[in-house]
């Protein structure tokens, strides 16, 4: 963990950070690595090497989960449905239109979410906080007992 100006960069691992999380497999699926660097407000003045507890408001977790998981699914389905109807009008098979517009709508949603994530980064309900020091010391940050985000 690194700290500067009331903010901490906390290194977590999927196994430790998400034992009790209902979406514990998603981090691995999305990022490909079990290690994460989380930027959090350091309310308890934790120091590098400390094992800490992280929290994030439930509303933020649910909203972010909806955006990341459900919005792309809805976009894919809507694009596929539109492609199925528009494909024959454009001289394609219905299935080809569904695949092409489904993929394009999924790609467009990904770009929109990338831009939106930069705007939402500072919102209060999406703010991660260090709320407790579980163990002081120069321990390995990868053995952190951080709570699921």
The 10s digit of each residue's pLDDT in 84-100 is 999 999 999 999 999 99
Residue 144 neighbours by CB distance under 10 Å: 23
pLDDT band at 148 (very low <50, low <70, confident <90, very high): very low
Tell me what pLDDT residue 137 has: 74
Tell me what pLDDT residue 78 has: 97
The 10s digit of each residue's pLDDT in 39-53 is 888 988 888 888 888
Q: Which residues 6+ apart lie within 8 Å of 8 measured at CB?
A: 1, 2, 39, 40, 41, 42, 46, 52, 130
- The average pLDDT across 8-36 equals 61
Nearest Cα residue to 23 out of 55, 57, 66, 53: 66
Residue 97 sits at φ, ψ, to 5 deg, of -60, -40
pLDDT band at 77 (very low <50, low <70, confident <90, very high): very high
Query: What are the structural domain ranges in the chain?
Result: 1-56+128-149, 58-124
H or E stretch including 28?
helix 26-31
Q: Do the beta carbons of residue 148 and residue 17 sit within 8 Å?
A: yes
Q: Do the beta carbons of residue 101 and residue 77 sit within 8 Å?
A: no
Share of the chain above pLDDT 70, in %: 71
Tell me what pLDDT residue 135 has: 87
């Amino acid at each position: 963990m690194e700290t500067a100006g009331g903010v901490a960069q906390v290194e977590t691992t999927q196994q430790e950070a998400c034992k009790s999380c209902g979406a514990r497999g998603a981090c691995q699926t999305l990022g490909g690595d079990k290690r994460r660097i989380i930027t959090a407000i350091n309310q308890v003045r934790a120091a590098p090497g400390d094992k800490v507890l992280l929290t994030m408001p439930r509303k933020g977790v649910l909203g972010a989960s909806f955006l990341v998981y459900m919005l792309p699914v809805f976009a894919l389905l809507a694009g596929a449905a539109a492609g199925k109807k528009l494909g024959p009008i454009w001289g394609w098979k219905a299935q080809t239109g569904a695949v092409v517009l489904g993929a394009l709508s999924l790609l467009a949603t990904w770009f929109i979410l990338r831009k939106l994530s930069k705007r939402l980064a500072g919102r209060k309900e999406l703010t991660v906080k260090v709320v407790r020091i579980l163990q002081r010391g120069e321990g390995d940050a990868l053995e952190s007992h951080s709570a699921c985000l």
